[in-house]
Amino acid sequence: MQIVEELLNGSRVALARAITAVENEYDEAVDIMRQLYSHTGRAHVIGITGPPGAGKSTLTDKLAKEYRNLGKTVGIIAIDPTSPFSGGAILGDRIRMLDLTLDEGVFIRSMGTRGSLGGLSRKTSEAVKILDAFGKDVIFVETVGVGQSEVDIIKTADTTLVVLVPGLGDDIQAIKAGILEIGDVFAINKADREGADRLQIELNAMLDLNQEHMDWRPPIKRTVANQSEGISELVETLEEHIAYTHKSGGLELRRTQRTKSELLALLHEHLSRRILGKLDDAGQFETLVASVERRERDPYSVVGQILNDLMK
């Protein structure tokens, strides 16, 4: 397949088109992924999450520059929300990464959430794999930034960086479930603002309570991204985390779990598509829906029967 060959030979046009194919679920997408799969698994994938306005894009821009100074190539996937009404989106994170545009060692791609968060996470991880196969050393995935429940990123990332800013919410926020549980490294950005000390104290208290990360206590770094302050220290910490996960076997464990959940998700998707396809072909599905709606049958027995018929 030409696009795969060109991509592996370093064509950025082919790289861009491959991501589009995956994003739009073109027929050739599966073939592209099949052929690229053996070339993946080398990149260090860093997820960047946190509330809107925390400065994730600016921080990503600075981190990418720091990695470039260290001689590494960088891929960036920047995710922004899709409008639930029009299906359109404004993807504006590139604005904060303009200097990186002409650096040949950097490739930035914006993605809209396009309605389904579950579907997005698969497409995101496929885009990550494409950048990985292309040869990027470090890949940043900047999440949509909806905050507390945006935790899907850990399924894709080797290292999850949670970015917080002073002045959002009280200390109960810090002990809720959600993004505070998934961080491997924390950055308090805009740390020149009032409230940075208090946020750090609260965050420290919360992390001390956390039993799950006994052998890796997530470090907290302070940054002022738009002034480039604290960036090299943050990169050092990210590198320490990846070194730690290599040494402790945590990375292997994470990747095994990732492979497992990817397989399951694919299986799930293909099974339901195949079953629905069969039912639709026979015009059965609408009949079943109608009978359930009239309360003649219940959904549990209907599903049971569908599966029984299929497994015969």
Partner 1 sequence: MEKRIRVLVAKPGLDGHDRGAKVVARALRDAGFEVIYTGIRLTPEQIAEAALQEDVDVVAMSLLSGAHNTLFPKVVAVLKEKGAAGKLIIGGGVIPEADIAGLKAAGVSEVFTPGTPTSQIVEYIKANVK
Q: Which residues bind partner 1 (CB under 8 A)?
A: 11-13, 16-17, 19-20, 23-25, 82-83, 86-92, 94-95, 98, 101-102, 107-110, 112, 114, 119
The DSSP symbol for 219 reads -
Report CA-CA distances (Å) from 111 to 7, 86, 177.
20, 16, 26
Contacts of 92 (CB under 8 A, 6+ apart): 80
Question: From the CB of 111, what's the least distance to partner 1, in Å?
Answer: 9
Nearer to partner 1, 74 or 220 (CB): 74
Question: From the CB of 12, what's the least distance to partner 1, in Å?
Answer: 6
Nearer to partner 1, 120 or 207 (CB): 120
Question: From the CB of 129, what's the least distance to partner 1, in Å?
Answer: 17
Q: Reduced to 3 states, what is the DSSP secondary structure of residue 44? A: strand
The length of the chain in residues reads: 312
Nearer to partner 1, 81 or 166 (CB): 81
Structure tokens at 58: 């600016």
Q: Reduced to 3 states, what is the DSSP secondary structure of residue 180? A: helix
Nearer to partner 1, 10 or 41 (CB): 10
Question: From the CB of 127, what's the least distance to partner 1, in Å?
Answer: 11
Buried b (16+ CB within 10 A) or exposed e, 222-243: bbbbeeebbbeebbebbeebbe
Question: From the CB of 100, what's the least distance to partner 1, in Å?
Answer: 10
Nearer to partner 1, 96 or 241 (CB): 96
Distance CA(16)–CA(107), nearest Å, equals 9
Nearer to partner 1, 116 or 259 (CB): 116
Question: From the CB of 116, what's the least distance to partner 1, in Å?
Answer: 9
The DSSP symbol for 224 reads B
Amino acid at 210: N
Question: From the CB of 99, what's the least distance to partner 1, in Å?
Answer: 9
Maximal C-alpha separation, the chain:
68
Distance CA(162)–CA(189), nearest Å, equals 10
Which residue has tokens 């040949």?
A: 104
Nearer to partner 1, 277 or 299 (CB): 277
Question: From the CB of 130, what's the least distance to partner 1, in Å?
Answer: 12
Contact (CB, 8 A) for 176 and 206: no
Which residue has tokens 């800013």?
A: 165
For residue 122, is it left (φ>0), alpha (ψ between -120 and 50) or beta? alpha
Nearer to partner 1, 79 or 207 (CB): 79
